[in-house]
Structure 1
């Protein structure tokens, strides 16, 4: 059980910073650029995720990962971010509801993906 929580606090701090970046970009794209929720959520996710990935690689997990694993993460979560935005657009949800829903999914799935796929440690 201890191995599950190792690095959780550092990843949480980096995740909160990434979420702040995501939300700021999302609302700038929605408000100033008049982009759709789906496009705004996707672009904001990509920029925030790249930042979080870099910071986690440097400070949290202290181990490398493959380009293929990183691209897999970006692909899966990118589709999820775009899909969440499509639902928000189709249902005319408030932008806050869309970005909140995706942030919750990203928190849960992103941690598992980072911890057990991207930066898994060899257990000896």
Structure 2
């Protein structure tokens, strides 16, 4: 059980910082630029996830990842961020619901993706 939570506190701290970046960019794009929630959420995710990916790969899991792994992470989570925005747009949900819901999903799924797919320890 202990190995399951390895790196979780550091990843959570980095995730919270990335979440603040995500929320700020989302609200600027959706309010000031008047983009719809799907585009705002996707753009904000891409910027925040780049920060999060770099910091987690460098400090949390201390492994090197490839460009292919980075693109796989961005693709999977990017589709999810856009999908959450499309759902929110179709239901006329407030932006706060969009970023809150996606942030929770991103914390859980992002950790699992990093831990078990991208940065899993190699078997000798």
Bucket of the pairwise TM-score, normalised by the shorter protein: over 0.9
Q: Deviations over 1:38-80 (max 9, x none)?
A: 0000000000000001111111111101221211111010000
d(CA) in 2 for partners of 1:123 and 1:24? 40
Q: TM-score, normalised by structure 1?
A: 0.96
User: Equivalent residue for 1:105?
Assistant: 105
What residue number does 1:13 align with? Answer: 13
Q: Aligned partners of 2:110, 2:49: CA distance in 1, in Å?
A: 9
Quick one: distance in 2 between partners of 1:107 and 1:57?
15
- Structure 2, unmatched stretches of 5+, are none
* Root-mean-square deviation over aligned CA pairs: 0.9
Q: Which residue of 1 aligns with 2:43?
A: 43
- Dislocated runs of 4+, deviation >4 Å: none
Take 1:95 and 1:31, find their aligned partners in 2: how far apart are those partners? Answer: 9
